Structure 1
Amino acid sequence: RVPQHSTLSRKFVEVMTEYNATQSKYRDRCKDRIQRQLEITGRTTTNEELEDMLESGKLAIFTDDIKMDSQMTKQALNEIETRHNEIIKLETSIRELHDMFVDMAMLVESQGEMIDRIEYNVEHSVDYVERAVSDTKKAVKYLSKDRR
């Protein structure tokens, strides 16, 4: 029989892995969208430049050369900055959630042994109660024989 905490720990790791993969896909989609918007405004960037922009938080370095002569260009720039801020917020929330999951995993691990002991004791207490019922019936039987 697999201890309960081991099963829960394994499922927890699976869920965490799936969550991280989903978050990475979302970040990649946002990055692709930002790159397309930069291309629309006439600015082509390499993947390295885009990564540097996302990591440094300095969107203005890459947008200074964009000509602001039309309303469409200004709107595209605002959308790029909004997406960038969303990615930064997403990364922050991913880090916080990761820390919470790590804390939860440690709690599950540390309390798993105690839960197994409780489960073991509950199972054995059922056996003890059954024996006590049987012994009580025998005692009543012997007592009634003694009184005769």
Structure 2
Amino acid sequence: MANNARNKLKTIERNLEMEEAERVSADMRIRKSQHAVLSRKFVDVMTKYNEAQVDFREKSKGRIQRQLEITGKATTDEELEEMLEGGNAAVFTAGIVDSGISKQALSEIEARHKDIVRLESSIKELHDMFVDIAMLVESQGNMVDNIENNMDQSVGFVERAVADTKKAAKYQQEAQRVSS
């Protein structure tokens, strides 16, 4: 399809060149301008298409690399490129996916995933507990501050009471001596 569009654009360009040699007019300039716009749009679309192909190729390459790593078959980037260029990567990975090693690796990955989900759940519960404790500490902070303040005042009152009691005992002894 892209070749067809490119061929049509080249045909239009040749026709415009032939017509331009015969006459120069406003209509010819408009047609050349339209051709230039179409050519630019074609190049833009083809560039985006190429980028999409490269992106898809890289994602496929990464997926194949991960499959190979999971099954324990290490390959270099060059070997992977050769598989992709040769077109036999699908056959190679199909054999890996069907092997018992990959099924075992898949079950290990699933088990790890379940463990990670459980760990994540535990961490979330722990986080929620810390949030609850922080809220309790904040809400009861004033009460704790008041209790601490009252205890400090109580110490002062007790010390004063002890001193007053000693004075009272002294006054009582003096009063008893005077009256006797």
TM-score of the two chains, using structure 2 as the length reference: 0.45
Cα deviation 1:18-47 (Å, max 9, x = unaligned): xxxxxxxxxxxxxxxxxx8644247xxxxx
CA distance in 1 between counterparts of 2:109 and 2:154 reads 64
CA distance in 1 between counterparts of 2:172 and 2:112 reads 84
Pairing 1:102–2:131 present: yes
Q: Which residue of 1 aligns with 2:156?
A: 127
Q: Is the 8 A contact 1:37 1:76 kept in 2?
A: no
Larger relative helix fraction? 2
SS in 2 for 1:131: helix
CA distance in 1 between counterparts of 2:104 and 2:167 reads 89
RMSD of aligned Cα (Å)? 2.3
Question: Which structure 2 segments of 5+ residues have no match?
Answer: 1-64, 72-93
Structure number with higher relative contact order (C-alpha < 8 Å, ≥ 6 residues apart): 1
Number of equivalenced pairs: 91
Amino acid at match of 1:115: V
Q: Which region of structure 1 is more displaced relative to structure 2, 105-114 or 92-101? A: 92-101
CA distance in 2 between counterparts of 1:135 and 1:112 reads 34
Q: Which residue of 1 aligns with 2:173?
A: 144
Q: Is the 8 A contact 2:96 2:102 kept in 1?
A: yes
SS in 1 for 2:98: coil
CA distance in 1 between counterparts of 2:66 and 2:161 reads 77
SS in 1 for 2:155: helix
**Identical-residue share of aligned pairs (%):** 56
> How is 1:1-148 mapped onto 2 (pairs within 5 angstroms)?
38-41=67-70, 67-147=96-176, 148=178
Q: Is the 8 A contact 2:68 2:96 kept in 1?
A: no
SS in 2 for 1:97: helix
CA distance in 1 between counterparts of 2:95 and 2:137 reads 52
Q: Is the 8 A contact 2:97 2:103 kept in 1?
A: yes
For residue 118 of structure 1, report the CA deviation from its aligned partner. Answer: 0.9
TM-score of the two chains, using structure 1 as the length reference: 0.54
Question: Which structure 1 segments of 5+ residues have no match?
Answer: 1-35, 43-64
Q: Is the 8 A contact 1:41 1:73 kept in 2?
A: yes
Amino acid at match of 2:125: E
Indicate how the Cα distance of structure 1 residues 143 and 66 shifts in structure 2: closer, same or farther if over 3 A, else same: farther
